[in-house]
Structure formats: structure tokens, C-alpha cells
A and B are shown apart, each in its own frame.
Chain A
């Protein structure tokens, strides 16, 4: 009896999906996250766990090798699709599932080719360097990005680790994409272009952006329930739910997360960014207002969300000088996310690896803004 066909059909009933957003693909990512949540399809944290590679967002030539590497690392049965727009998501997922059930694409023949960071054969000796405790320790070079679960896609940080301590962090180059305006900062961009935008609409977008950031931070902190709640509230906001319908759930969520002693215990003292230091580096928005550690930043987000939910129906025109975008003000053509990236290496150096992802998620630079900025730099020079 051939068991393969029924097994494959059963496997296609609930495939794990590696959702990768390219810079500029926030809208498509949100649509995909929403649909997968409602369909009950789990998001895979690594390619080894995934059956479907779903790329959300526009093409990005600079990131194509990284995408191919992810595909190389996926075991058979596997399928791959790209959803350039939010509308294309449902179709892409459905196509992949049919493909999985029918005749799976062959997996990588044997060992996936090395990505160049590790020579396959005789490994070189690890170099040693003095560490801050006055010992001579081995160094491990490790890159975070450009694609990781709950990571601003496209951002690459090259780390030099000694034990679990980050001795050095360097930012990689930002990939530029052709694409639309950054999704989260869109009301502000339209207002800057002279269009009349309601303050309520901007508040809605900002609250959703903060909830999106909170969802990532909480998922990385391993608090599955709170992360799911944040994402549900975000989707409700983007669907246009009214203040009255959202208020109780948002308040309950904000209270639970802000008052969680465990989360505070786990995040306090990590990634401390003082208010003056932040302003000097050009950081504005919640990160500058919080003026403290990871815990201060997520509490600032929570307070902002609670405030914004009250203003969803505000008909007054958006005043960009008073109402900042989700990541702050973009001064002199520089998006606020660039300033967040600038302070990142300083915050990462000296932190332990376990805290590194939390620090990045607590600043949550927007890949859309970064890609747009990189595009401008490319077109200028």
C-alpha cells in the first residue's frame, strides 16, 4: 500500500508557512498574517520547519540571493509563491497548498550549498580577542538578518560574539526597492503632500503600527497569548473598528502587558537609550519619549495605543508638528527609522545575545521607510 499520497494530503491540510516580507511589503505582510491567523496555518520560525515560502511584497533584487538561500534550506515537500499586493495573498496560499498536495517540488538534493559564511571543509581556527573581563576568548561571527521571524526585513546586523556577549555590532547595507510609500507613515506622507488627512485616521494608523511592533516584541519575548492579542487588535483597527468596540479589549490588553511583572523583570535594564542621547542621535517618537530601557519603550507604545484609540473619530486635520508618525518625525528627508538604526550598534554592544533581538524589536525600525530612503540615496547619487 502506498502511504505517500494520503500522507502528503494530510500534510497539505496544515502546512507551516515561512512568511517573508520584503521592504515595502508591509501591507501584503499584514494581509498574509491576518489570513494565516484566521485559517489556522502556523507561521514557521525557520525554513527547516516550513512547507510554503510566502514572499509578501514587491521584488527586491538585492535580497533575491537571501530568499533563494531560504528556499534552498527548505525540506521537501515545499512550495513557493510571491504576493506582491495584499489582494494576491489568498490566491498565492491556495495555489501553494494545491501544489503541496499534488506533486511536491523536489527538495534540496543533499546538503544545501554553503552560503559563504562558513567554509564547508577544514574549518579555520576561531580567532581570539580580549574580552571585557580581561580574558582572551574565541570570537564567533554571526549575522542577524536580512530575513528572520519578527525582524525588520532587509536589515542586517553583523555581530562579533564572545560567549553570549556581543562585542561588536555593525550594520549592513540597506537594500533599495521600487515601491510605494511606507505603509505606516502613509497618512503623514499624504499630509505633507498637501492632502487633507484626518487626525483620527492618523491616530488609527499609528495605534495599529504600535500594536504591530508590540506583536513582534511580545512574540520574541515568547509570550504567545499577548502577541496574538496585539495582532488581533491591530487587524481590527485596520479593518476600521470604532472606538467603542475596541476600547475594552485594548485597555485590558494594555493593562495586562504594562503591569506584567515577569515581562518587566525580563526586559528591564536592557538596551537603555536615554532621552538626551536619543535626541542627539536624531531619534524622535516613542523611543525618544520613553528615554529608557526596553520596558520603558513598550510601555510608551501601550500608553500611546490607549490614547490613540480614543481619537479614532477625530475629524480635525492632521497637524504633523503635533501628531508624530509611529516612529517619530522625519527631519530633512531622513525617515525616523534611519535614526533608530544609527543608535542600534551602540545599544547592542555589551548586551547578551538573548537581549539583542528584544532590543531591535523594541526600536522596530520600519523596513519600508529604510527602503524608501535607500531608494532616494540611490537616485541622488
Chain B
């Protein structure tokens, strides 16, 4: 690895860390969310520098969407939704310090103790192809199970959370009439 890449890695890593620190020091939910987004974009950069451009750019792409949607929800769920009153991201300080310290120690130990495989041969010119083959070949079952689990979680959480709303068409009883939606949707339902 040449010096330019090392310097880039170090720079992006420090920026990602700084973003992470800002997440816990900013006092507005909007700023916290976008500090986290900045941090995650730096992580995307790190992954790109490590030679996985597809994953790196896709991380930026997904995280921007995710953080914008998260901002909407986090602000909606706040005690003061205007979000203009100062707030703190720190709760249960002693407990969380203990947990995060333990997790950090475990991760560092894992990094140092894992027998990482040595590279055999030169890196492929297009890692995207390799990544696709791994995900859609040997790891196909994992990805499918993961996908269904995520979908089931989303649908399940939504069903459990809503009682009966204007976006709810049938509920659990398929014989029931549709809920009246005074505003109406786009395809006439």
C-alpha cells in the first residue's frame, strides 16, 4: 500500500471518528443525524480506498437515504419535535460507558487475534465482479435469509405498531371493508 492511500485512509478514519464524537456532543437532532451521515460517508471512503469502490459508493448512497429518513423519524419521535431546544444524546452514562468499553475491547482483541489470510496473487482489476459472485454464489443463502428476515421485521413492526389507520386497507381481516381514506391515493383506491 503506497503512502497516498495510507494518508487517505488515516485522514478519512480521523474524520469518521470526529463525526462519531460530534454525534454525542451536538445538541440538536438534525445536527446529530448529519454528523453521523458525515462519519458514515467517510467510512464509505475508507472502503473505496481499500479497493472496493462499489461497496464504498453504495455505502454513501444508502446512508444518505437512510440518514435523511432517520432524521425525519428521530425528529418526529422527539419530546420536542421542533428540535430547537437543546438536547443530549447521552443517557445512562455509566452503563453505556461500560458496554461500549467492553465492545471496543472485544473488537480490538478480535482484530489482533484473528489469523488474517495472506494475499495470494495480485488483486483482481474489478472487485465489483468478485463481490457479486461471492454474494450471489457462495453466500446466496445468507443473503436471501437476511433479505426475508429484514422484510419480515419491517412488515411485522408496522403491523404491530398500527391499530387501524388511513393507510391500512384491510387489517388482519380480509373480509373487512377498506378504511375510508378521505385524501385518496394515486391509483384510485
Contacts and interface: CB of A to CB of B under 8 A. Distances in A.
Direct contact of A and B (CB under 8 A): yes
Interface of A: 122-123, 125-126, 132-135, 138, 165, 265, 268-270, 350-352, 355
Nearest to A164: B183
Interface string B144-156: 0000000000000
B123 interface: no
Contact of A133 (B85, B165, B183, B186): B165
A125 B166 contact: no
B176 interface: no
B10 to A, nearest CB: 42
Nearest to B76: A138
B78 to A, nearest CB: 10
A126 B79 CA distance: 9
A351 B182 contact: yes
Contacts of B85: 122-123
A265 B186 contact: yes
Contacts of B162: 133
A138 B184 contact: no
A125 B79 contact: yes
Contact of A134 (B82, B84, B165, B183): B165
A134 B164 contact: yes
Q: Interface range on chain B: under 10, 10 to 19, 20 to 34, or 35 or more?
A: 10 to 19
A271 to B, nearest CB: 11
B11 interface: no
A265 B11 CA distance: 52
B80 interface: yes
A132 B81 contact: no
Contacts of A355: 183
A258 B163 CA distance: 41
State the main secondary structure of chain B at its contact with A: loop
A351 B80 contact: no
Nearest to A134: B163
6 contacts: A132-B166, A133-B164, A133-B166, A350-B182, A351-B183, A352-B183
Contacts of B81: 126, 138
A268 B165 CA distance: 22
A351 B162 CA distance: 21
Contacts of B164: 133-134
Contact of A123 (B82, B165, B183): B82
A185 to B, nearest CB: 34
Nearest to A137: B76
Nearest to B79: A125
Nearest to A132: B166
A46 B138 CA distance: 58
Contacts of A135: 165
B182 A126 contact: no
A314 B85 CA distance: 67
Interface string B171-188: 000000000001110100
Contacts of B80: 123, 125-126
Contacts of A350: 182-183
A268 B187 CA distance: 11
Closest 9 CB pairs of A and B: A133-B165, A269-B184, A350-B182, A352-B183, A138-B81, A123-B82, A134-B163, A123-B84, A125-B80
Contacts of A265: 186
Nearest to A138: B81
Contacts of B166: 132-133
Contacts of B79: 125
A122 B84 CA distance: 8
Nearest to A354: B183
A122 B85 CA distance: 7
B164 to A, nearest CB: 7
A138 B79 CA distance: 10
Contacts of A123: 80, 82, 84-85
- Which has the most chain A C-beta neighbours within 10 Å: B162, B164, B184, B186? B184
B26 to A, nearest CB: 18
B179 to A, nearest CB: 9
Given A126-B81, A132-B166, A134-B164, 12 more contacts: A123-B85, A125-B80, A126-B80, A126-B82, A133-B164, A134-B163, A135-B165, A269-B183, A350-B182, A351-B182, A351-B183, A355-B183
A26 B163 CA distance: 50
A265 B187 CA distance: 9
A252 B81 CA distance: 49
A122 B82 CA distance: 11
A134 B167 CA distance: 12
Contacts of B183: 165, 269-270, 350-352, 355
Contacts of B165: 133-135
Nearest to A126: B81
A314 B81 CA distance: 61
A132 B179 CA distance: 12
A270 B186 CA distance: 12
Nearest to A165: B183
